[in-house]
Amino acid sequence: MKFSQLVIFSVFIILGCNTKQKVNSNQKIQWLSIEEVEEKMKSQPKKVLIDIYTDWCGPCKRMSKYTFTNPEVIRIITEEFYAVKFNAESKEDVTFFKKKYINKGRTHDFAIQVGSTASGLSYPTIIYFNESFKKIQAVPGFYESQEFTLILKYFGENNYKNMSYDTYYKSQR
């Protein structure tokens, strides 16, 4: 009887000693506006990610519902980035580094300016900026949590400076 109690007690102690930082299950990404990020960057520079989405985009909705609610994704974004969620069809004007962006038609000028790649603008697209607010890269497409954490670490931990994503990806598998 005492041996079984000791085993059960030991299991609880071992499980309770997990030192890995955990994210509160009800913690969420703190999405900021472009203007809020620009202001925060003045006093505390940090990398920035901007999620370009639309209300009708199915993959965008899946990323919001599943990928952006994953505890590991939340932890990395919270630690490494300021996060912006920007609707590419927004009608609101945006001022970014003293330049005003507007929506002249269906797609907002800001989304086109920062989110376009060689193949155009698609949804969702995540744009990564360094601490000086210089664009690193726009990454289009939907990603499940596991793949997205690798992408976040690639940019967040500055691996992009030393190797291609393919090399980084292979080194993590």
For the chain, 173 residues long, give each residue's pLDDT as a single digit of tens: 554 443 343 433 333 444 344 445 578 999 999 999 999 999 999 999 999 999 999 999 999 999 999 999 999 999 999 999 999 999 999 998 889 999 998 999 999 999 988 888 999 999 999 999 999 999 999 999 999 999 999 999 999 999 999 999 999 98
What is the phi-psi region of residue 120: left when phi exceeds 0, alpha when psi lies from -120 to 50, beta otherwise?
A: left
Beta strands in 63-109 (DSSP E): 81-87, 94-96, 99-101
Neighbour tally for 92: CB within 10 Å: 12
| Domain parsing of the chain, residue ranges | 24-172
Against a cut of 0.85, is the pTM above it? no
At residue 173, the pLDDT reads 80
Question: Are the C-beta atoms of 7 and 59 separated by less than 8 Å?
Answer: no
Fold of the 24-172 domain: Glutaredoxin (3.40.30)
At residue 25, the pLDDT reads 58
